[in-house]
Structures are given as structure tokens and as C-alpha cells.
Structure 1
């Protein structure tokens, strides 16, 4: 099957949708499907791991839903026409909401015989974001009408897609590749945070909770892996709390280094409280095998962790939960064992066949539609 995967940014970015596209591309190619990457970014194909493909637009970073995300800007009409001509597709896989500059332009020029599949990754309770996405839906009615079928990464994202985008998606989770750590970090963390340093992700909540741990944990360390606009303020807060000797800001880390940190930590903590439709980083932490995953009790994270009460936490009880887990190795081992079994539901061999089934249904639907038109 010939599949085009659209991502409106640099696929090397440390973002959930970029991870989704990279993992899907690798899985499809391993299954001998022909994959074309259609991106906005600094290099052709948009990803160092996948040669070829097309970089069709520039990207800009815009604040959406408490985060900064990539949006295509100043797309080349000539490049889009060339990509569609040179890479005929059975399926074009897009993501909603999308920019009319890149994805919208492709949909307007796409051959009628190409099926369109869309994935929705989004959820929010923020009123401005909900209003903005409703306006986006009104402005992009034609693009939405071109979608043959849709996917949501969680029931939370599916509910948002129905209410805001007017589509009824099939729920298929994001997936991860099973892998093993290739080494150990120079400094293993008792507690680890991985993610963008933006308010929504909750790094400040974790720092405050870590600083409040009782005296028996005075030797524990915290590593903050990731970067973002909050980093200077977080570093100042660590100094004011007097815990700078126990807290390391690792900055942006490579995929390999991230996996090594996860494998070596005792607890990987992700205290985001809002705006999460899924949680790929939770899956990565579980797959690493060495740490207990502790996550904010928001709908997306709760679904990934199957509502496991020992692994979900409100911000006001985070210090107490860290205290319990750090003090009880037997409990950590039991939770890790559960995680290792649970994460198998999200691996490529389990999830990819579900996506391929959606592709096949979409292309069969399209062929029936074309046949009906021809017989009129």
C-alpha cells in the first residue's frame, strides 16, 4: 500500500504527534508498505531517520492548548503539486486540526482515488482553545468533508473530535517500538521528569513536591529532562528552595539518552493535570522497564494507565505518593511488573494491524464510491 504521512513540522521534534508519525512510518516500512513523508521543516522528508520524502512548507511555533506546537506556514504550491504527481498514494494520513496552508492545500489537489484518514490527538477543557477549534471547523468544512475515516488516540480524544470537529473516529491508541536501553546514564535519578517545560506539563508541581519530601529522602535526586520557556523560572525556584544540589536540569536529550534515563530511574513522574489526550511518554517509561510511572490524574493519562489508582495522582498528594514509592521497593517492583504486561497493548505488532485495517476500509470505501460514479 502507498501511504503518505503528513506532519506540519520537523519530525525530529520531541512532540507527541511527531512521535506518532515517526513510529507509524517505521512500522509501515517494516511491513513492506511504501511510505512518503510530507512535512514542514528544515530538511527533505523532515526526519533524520527517514531519507526521502518532501519538505513542503516552513513551520512556525504557535501557542495552543497550553503548549507550543508546529504549524505549517508559507507552503510551496509548486512543491505540493510535484509531490502529489511524483508520489501517487492509496492513502493520505493527516491530523486534525491542521493548517489550510499545507494539509488543506494537499486535500484540494489530491486525486479523488486517494483515501484520506485523519487522526485526532487533541482534547482540552480550556474555553479559548475550544472556541478556536470550533472556528477552525467552520473555516475548514471542505477539508473535513474530504476525510473518508478518522482515528482518535483515546476515548477522550474521540469525544472531543465528535463534539468539536463533527467526526466519529475509531479509537486506536498511539504505539511504541519495543526497545532495550543501550547503556546507563552518568547519574541515575531517583525521580525523573521528561517533557516540555511549559505550565501544562507540571514540572513546577513536581519540583515543589520533591522539595517537600521528608528527611529520610534527603539524599534523593531529581532529573528534569527537557527544555522550554519555563526553564529559567524553574531553575530559580530550585535555588530558592535550596535543593539545587539534588536537582539536575538535563535539557533536551536524544531518544537514546531519554530511554537510558527512564530505564535507570526509580520513579518517572509526569504530573500534567489538563489537556492530555494520550501519553506516549508514559508508554516509553513503562517500556523502559526500570521505573514506576506516576502520572497526573487527567483523562488521557488515566486511560493509558487503565485508571490504576496507585499510578495516578493529584497535585496535592504528590509528595505523599513519592514518599510511599521511594520507601517501598517491593511496591515499586509489583507496579513495574504490571506495567510491563500492560504496555504490550501499545506496541507496534498490536496496534499497526488496527491502523492497516482502517486504511483498507477507507480504500475499499473509495473504490465503491468511484464505481458508483462511473455507473451513473
Structure 2
């Protein structure tokens, strides 16, 4: 099959949707399919099969920074689709009417169009905005042959905001790649609590610091907090850290990590913490931490992370409840038996998110709707 992934944003950002698109695309290529990327402005546009269709501008949405496409050329889109003759267009949702919407509207009848819902709105403004978007795209979405969601939470969002029924196929991880993570030797002299994520309010690094401060008063042995990432809140987080320890000697800021560095830091974690307050449709970073060998992975009690951790109540915390957060960390540091049980459960859990397990299900979804599209074409002859 010739498959085109459609994404309004840049392809080169280290965000969850881009990771999904690139990992699934890479796996499809390895299986003999031809994969293209129809995306917003991207430095990678000079690479083979990456088609940059629109300039983008940075905006704040869902308590995060993201790129929004400017109007894409309908002529450029039409020429590309005519030249490539895609079997499948796989659109990342929700999407803008200015790029992906124009691709969908221009798709030839022979091309099967499917979509995957990735995000959840965080707060009333984002919720209202996505509902309005659903109204704007009411006719456009009729061109789709099928829809996926990365979690049950995203599935509910698709139904409530867009009136769309979808099939849940989870986010994916390259288990073989992340399992190569090696714990960093210089940090093996004391237990490590590791946070990895963007330094924005929604991701909750500030709550990890607050819980760590309280934990230092409860735990009678040396500890270390490692904060991996970068973002607009870094200066505020550094000030917070300075208030906890002199020159934050037990708090490490790694800065931005390359993809190749992530697994080593996650493998170093006695507890990997992801205290996001919401806006998560899934928890790909939770899966990456498990795949890397973090001893215990815990996350904020939001609908997306519950998709992954819901069967392990000791791994969910209310990030803003500092007492509960600190007590949960204390429990997992002191109760080795419980921590070991959770680790074993999480190592088994992560297998069902491996690309080699989920990938064939995505292909089967394509093939099902290719067959249905072919039948529709016959009826229209």
C-alpha cells in the first residue's frame, strides 16, 4: 500500500503525535509499504517522501504550545494527490480545515481516508474550541471511511465533540529500542525519582518538586530528583529547586534530551513520575518509561493516564495533593515487595503497546476500509 500520514503540525517536533506518526510510518516501511508524510512547515521537507504543505505559526492551545497551519495551497495539494495516488490517507485528529481539511476534501474517491484521535481538551476554553471545530468540519468528516482513537478517553472525546464513533487502537512504542536503555552509573549511589517532559504547567514538574520537598522530610536516606526536559517554565522551576536545597545539589536538571538519551534516564529511575494534570488522551511517556525499565512508573490521575495505569491504583496520584503525592513516593521507596510487584505487572503490560503487536492491527484496519471503499466504488459505477 501507499500510505500518506497527514499532520497539521511540523514533523520534527518531539511530541506524542509526531512520535506516533514516525514510528508507525517507519514500521510500515519495514513491512514493504510506501509511506509519505503530508505535514506543516518542516526542516525535514527536503527528505524523501516528506511534503511540506503550509507555513505554521505557534499558538497556545490545550495549555500547551503548538503549531497551527496557515492556509495550504489547494492547487499544490491537488497536484500532489494526483501524482502520488495514495491508497490510504491517515489523518491525525482533531485537524485544521486549513491543511488536513483541504487534503481530505481533495482526496480522490479511490483513496481510503481514515483518522486517529489523539488529544483531549484541557479546560473549558479548549473544550469549546474543539466543539466549534467539529461544527466547522461537519461536512469534511463525511469523506472519512473509518476512525481510530488511541484510548477510551480519546474515543469518548471523538463521540462527544465530533459525533464520531471510533475504534480504540492504542499508542505505540518501539519496545526493542527503549529496552536498550542503560542506567547511568554516576546516579547509582542513591534512589532516583525521574521526571521527563516539557516544562509547562500542565505536565506538572512543579508538583514533582513540591512532593520531593515534602518527601525529604519523611525519608531518612539520601535521595535525588532528576528533571529531564526544557520549556518556558524552566526559570520558575529552577527557583523552586533552589528553595528546596542549596544550589539544588540533590536536584538535577538535564536540559532537553535527544530521543536516544531518554531511555538511559528512564532506566535510571527507581520511580518515574509524570504528574500531568490533564489534557492527555493517552500516556505514551508512561509506556516509554516501562519499556526502558523504570522500576515503578506513576502518573497523574487523569483520564488519559488512567487508560494505562487504571488497573494499578497505587500508581495514580493527584498532582496538586502534595501530601498524597509525597506519601505515595514514600510507600514505593520503602515497600520493596510492592514496588517489585508493580514493576513485574508493568513489564507485562508494556508488551501490548509494542509496534510489532499494534502495527498489524493498524494494517488490518486499513485493509478493511480499503475493501469497503472498493465496494462503494463499484456501487457508484
Which of 148, 151, 154 is the aligned partner of 1:151? 148
Q: Secondary structure at the match of 2:262?
A: helix
The answer for the alignment partner of 1:191 in structure 2 is: 193
Give the SS at the match of 1:100. Answer: coil
Aligned length, in residue pairs? 371
Deviation at 1:292, TM superposition (A): 0.9
State yes or no: 1:170 paired with 2:167.
yes
Aligned CA-pair RMSD: 1.9
Q: TM-score, normalised by structure 1?
A: 0.93
Q: Which residue of 2 aligns with 1:345?
A: 352
Alignment-derived partner of residue 15 in structure 1: 15
* Counterpart position of 2:338: 331
Instruction: Find the residue that maps to 1:94 and give its secondary structure.
Output: strand
Alpha-carbon spacing, 1:183–1:343, altered in 2? closer, same or farther (3 Å)? closer
Over residues 79-98 of structure 1, what are the superposed CA-to-partner deviations in whole Å (9 max), with x where a residue is unaligned?
42332133211110002211
- The DSSP-based 3-state class of the residue aligned with 2:38 is strand
Report the Cα distance in structure 2 between the residues aligned to 1:60 and 1:186, rounded to whole angstroms: 42
Deviation for aligned residue 1:36: 0.8
Distance apart, 1:183 and its partner CA: 4.4
List 4+ stretches of structure 1 deviating above 6 A: none
How many angstroms does 1:78 deviate by? 4.5
Q: For residue 33 of structure 1, report the CA deviation from its aligned partner.
A: 1.0
| Residues 351-362 of structure 1 mapped to structure 2, 5 A cutoff | 351-362=358-369
Measure, in 2, the Cα distance between the counterparts of 1:217 and 1:9.
47
Contact in 1 for aligned 2:219/2:330 (Cα 8 Å)? no
Q: Distance in 2 between matches of 1:212 and 1:308?
A: 24
Q: Is the 1:38–1:45 Cα contact (8 Å) retained in structure 2?
A: no
Q: Distance in 2 between matches of 1:255 and 1:40?
A: 21
Contact 2:11 2:44 in 1 (8 A): no
Q: Which residue of 2 is the match for residue 31 of structure 1?
A: 31
For residue 227 of structure 2, what is the aligned residue in structure 1?
224
In structure 1, distance between residues paired with 2:221 and 2:237: 20
- Work out the CA distance in 2 between the residues paired with 1:255 and 1:108: 35
Instruction: Report the Cα distance in structure 1 between the residues aligned to 2:156 and 2:71, rounded to whole angstroms.
Output: 32
Counterpart for residue 208 of structure 1: 210
Aligned 8 A contact 2:35 2:49 in 1: no
Q: Please give the per-residue CA displacement for 1:219-271, whole angstroms capped at 9, x wherever unaligned.
A: 21111111111111111111123361111221210111111100111111001
* Unaligned stretches of 5+ residues in structure 1: none
- Point out the more displaced range, 271-280 or 117-126: 117-126
